[in-house]
Amino acid sequence: MLCNPGPRALPRSGGPVCSGDRKRTTEIMRGHCKRLTNEPASLWQDHYLAVEFRQEMEKRSRFCAEWQGKFLHGKDLLEFANWHEFFGLHRITGEDWCFREWLPQAVSVALIGEFSAWQWDQRYELQPAAEGCWCGYFPPDAFRHGQQYQLKVHWPGGEGWRLPSCATRTVRARNAVGGLVFNAQVWEPEAYHWQHDYSGTDAPLLIYEAHIGMAQAEERVGTFREFKDKILPRIAETGYTCLQLMAIAQHPYYASFGYQVANFYAPCDLFGTPEELKELIDAAHGLGLRVVMDLVHSHAVRNELEGLANLCGDRTQFFHPGPRGEHPAWGSCCFQYGKPEVARFLLSNCRYWLEEYRLDGFRFDGVTSMLYLDHGLGRVFSSYQDYFGPNCDWEAWNYLAMANELVRQCRKHACTIAEEVSGMPGLGAQAQEGGCGFTYRLAMGIADYWFILLDRPEQDWPIRKLWFELNNRRQDERTVSYVECHDQAMVGGQTFLFRCLGERVYNAMHRGCDDPAVLRGLALHKMARLATLACAGHGYMTFMGNEFGHPEWIDFPREGNNWSYQHARRRWDLADDQGLAYHCLWRFEQQMLKLCRRQPDFFSCRPQLLKCHDQDQVLVFERASLLFAFNFHPRNSYPDYACPCPPGSFRLSLDSDAEQFAGLARLEPEQTCFTRTVPVAGALETQIRLYLPSQTALVLRKID
């Protein structure tokens, strides 16, 4: 969820520049330079941050250490994160049942469900215990697998039907008058037997962002099993290495895209059962894919009957009191991260998903909203002063730091990805440096910049500025780049291909179409993706369907569109039709990712600029023994373009203009180009001469 469409991260002093240092460029051309490492630098190498704000960051670190001590009381972090093991419905020794819930304001509580004919039954009453807990013990035959139930809670001045805070299975049902309700469900199936575990930690991070419900071509909600059978093979065949699953936790309103979570421990029942989700993850691991989940801990749905908003008559049980507890833009409830029970609930939620479903990490949604008391709304982050001071929520920072540490303790190979738009320094740094500990940060500004460029003629694109934007990241953290994720295509927005082609996506996408506007749009779509991958810090991402240029926006069924599923699906038939250019775009994505995967050190080194020319609209750079050459000019082709280059022989490995990619086939496939040494400005320079057709990108591999 995009919480603030503000500016990108501030560049670290000494970060990438577009023009390049002449001495270093000469060294590159002569082949004498060492490859620039892409390993994150120390946070304190940012001199300005170290001098001006070190005291503030050290103060924050002391705050975190103090609060973690209060939370843990000497316990291990994994031992503290056991909410799901203590609360909820569990079998205990001797096969009896135990149910516990944290209801500090309650005066009487009972489990009511199919086992009690939906009537209050003294046999299912809970008894008060210590620290606001309520507990009940029941014989082995008290519950059966699949039975639905709720909590009936009485508190001073009120009562209500509620769901357990850590129910691991909740389902939609109809009540006696036909209304839609959510019930918890007794869930005790046969244990799932895992067949695979993720073992591809050395693979480059190539993320496929997907939504289970809208992954089918039909106008309906898709399922876990359909995704496993039909979509997973597509993802693996294309070349992605990581599946990012959206909207997994139970949410009452399908059109919320899964961002209004009610039941944090339960998979969404619209998609299938918990075991079917495990089957999907297991199958993904079998294909060599790591699986990460969108984790929404930035807020919770305000629904009382389905969620946590008023579990026992106190809206501040999990959330801040007053206006601070209400998100002004999302209409949801904001967690009180400084409350030990809330931190335990959320940390346990991380542990539960990792252990029960063998996930390989999380994408934390809405991190900017968590880090600032004003949620970063309507603010421009223009200086380091914006990242420190009374507007920062240190309690949220402390929770995120604990969550990152817990994830790594729980599954050592697991990763965490921050969706954070303000550019908060230290987000990806380790705790010992005062950092928050995220493995990656999404480079959200790159997508914004591509869409900005489409508003101006290509001959006016500032290529030096483009190079800067593609490489503008802090050197103390790892980043993931993308041209478009789900945010860009939400209703009111457009996919990148639609911005390039407009209405032509409907009637001019047959192969062989010679409409110049279509050829332009297809070329830019390919070039943008390749440039973004080639300059990506440490990973690349796309949203489901964009790998073949999905033409239309996303709009979930709602009253405003007459509950239509027309735009809540994916048109796989377009990618499968070999007579359409959509199929060519998919083929290009496949070959682009293959090129990256064949270079095991691709993300281990940084791209190095060789030539950047605004007037010619040419960009040339080197990375991991691959030479990338882009000509963005809409009309000018350059038949013998001289580019500085490390010495050697280079073979054409990828040509965006190839016929198989819906191009004009102006280059001979797999040709070999050789460098030569020429005098330039009184010195010898190694150059390569290339034919650069208009609006074409080339990748050449060094072969000696």
606-702 folds as: Immunoglobulin-like (2.60.40)
Question: Does 365 qualify as catalytic in the annotation?
Answer: yes
Enumerate the H helices of 536-626 as residue ranges: 572-576, 581-597
The 10s digit of each residue's pLDDT in 279-332 is: 999 999 999 999 999 999 999 999 999 999 999 999 999 999 999 999 999 999
Single-letter code of the amino acid located at 230? K
Cα–Cα dist 29/686, whole Å: 5
Q: Which two tokens stand for residue 533?
A: 């991958």
Q: Which two tokens stand for residue 268?
A: 């969404």
Element spanning 58, H or E: helix 54-72
Contacts of 16 (CB under 8 A, 6+ apart): 468, 471, 472, 473, 606
Helix/strand/coil for 425: coil
676 strand-pairing partners:
687
Cα–Cα dist 428/47, whole Å: 17
Contacts of 228 (CB under 8 A, 6+ apart): 276, 279, 280, 283, 284
Of 405, 419, 484, 685, which one is the catalytic site residue?
419
Cα–Cα dist 233/237, whole Å: 6
pLDDT value for 493: 84
To the nearest 10°, report the CA torsion of 137, 140, 143, 144: 160
Cα–Cα dist 162/181, whole Å: 11
Q: Which two tokens stand for residue 409?
A: 């303790």
Cα–Cα dist 340/326, whole Å: 20
Cα–Cα dist 306/303, whole Å: 6
| 455, 416 contact by CB (below 8 A) | no
Q: How many residues does the chain have?
A: 704
DSSP states of 433-483 as a string? GT----SEEE-HHHHHHHHHHTTS-GGG--HHHHHHHHH---TTS-EEE-S
173 strand-pairing partners:
181
Cα–Cα dist 395/406, whole Å: 16
pLDDT value for 16: 34
Alpha-carbon separation of residue 250 from 15, 84, 181, 261 (angstroms): 42, 16, 13, 6
pLDDT value for 492: 78
Cα–Cα dist 89/148, whole Å: 12
Which residue numbers in the chain have pLDDT < 50?
Answer: 1-22, 24, 28-33
Which superfamily, per CATH, for 80-185? Immunoglobulins (2.60.40.10)
Of 209, 294, 365, 487, which one is the catalytic site residue?
365
Q: Would you kindly state where each structural domain of the chain is located, as residue ranges?
A: 80-185, 606-702
Alpha-carbon separation of residue 176 from 118, 169, 173, 541, 548 (angstroms): 11, 21, 10, 46, 47
pLDDT value for 23: 52
Question: Does 125 qualify as catalytic in the annotation?
Answer: no
Contacts of 258 (CB under 8 A, 6+ apart): 211, 246, 247, 248, 249, 251, 268, 294, 296
